[in-house]
Amino acid sequence: MLLDRAFYARDVLVVARELLGCVVRHRTDDGVVAVRLTEVEAYAGEADPGSHAFRGRTPRTAVMFGPPGHAYVYFSYGMHWCVNLVCGPEGTASAVLLRAGEVVEGLDRARSRRPAARRDVDLARGPARLTQALAVTGTLNGADVCGAGPLEVRAGEVVPDEAVVWGPRVGVAGAGAPTPWRASLVNDPTVSAYRVGGRRSPRAKT
């Protein structure tokens, strides 16, 4: 079942938690790849020093201030794309970064897009790897994930609370650093390795 706009139009922490286990599916000219989400991070817009939107609306962050249920895609360190889902009421700029997941459809296609991955659990293990496996780029910035477009998010199996752990966000320095808003599945091999803030790992803030 495709997640509707009402799903995203809620508090960002609630949406982040409930996105675990959901499936992101991207249809391209060469086929479909789908990833079951195992790790996400929440960012609370202008109320959050770790968010791109903390200092207000800019051309880059305009999508975040729009209606929920759209993709905010940005280029990290001039190297990698990262994809987020806009949440909360329009104007709040909250978003959930999709950090990691398990490829559940189009495995061979994902492997061809991620030739450096030695194991299948590494195909979408991290925000940059996830977008590479899904072939998500800046052309999808602003895409409506609730409609009939190529990028969509579907409900998955319900994940019980005991299977979820919350921890600090990755690569976020300064005032936003200690916020325990990274949610992931306990002991899942596709969850990315935690690294403290710094340039060695892609900064996963939105």
Residue 205 within a domain:
no
Q: What token pair was written down for 146? A: 């609730």
User: Is position 202 within any domain?
Assistant: no
Asked if the structure places residue 82 within a domain, the reply is yes
Per-residue pLDDT tens listing for the chain (206 residues): 999 999 999 999 999 999 999 999 999 999 999 999 999 999 999 999 999 999 899 999 999 999 999 999 999 877 899 999 999 999 999 999 999 999 999 999 999 999 999 999 999 999 999 999 999 999 999 999 999 899 999 999 999 999 999 999 987 866 666 689 999 999 999 999 876 543 332 334 44
Cα separation, 61 vs 72, in Å, equals 8
Say how far apart CA 88 and CA 6 lie, in whole Å: 9
Q: How many domains are there within the chain?
A: 1
In a domain, residue 192? The reply is no
Q: Which residue type does 174 have?
A: G
Q: Tell whether 193 is covered by a domain.
A: no
Residue 124 lies in a domain: yes
Tell me which residue of 132, 97, 120 sits closest to 190, measured CA to CA. Answer: 120
pTM (two decimals): 0.91
The CATH number covering residue 53 comes to 3.10.300.10
- Domain containing 27 equals 5-185
Residue 199 lies in a domain: no
Let me know if residue 191 belongs to a domain.
no
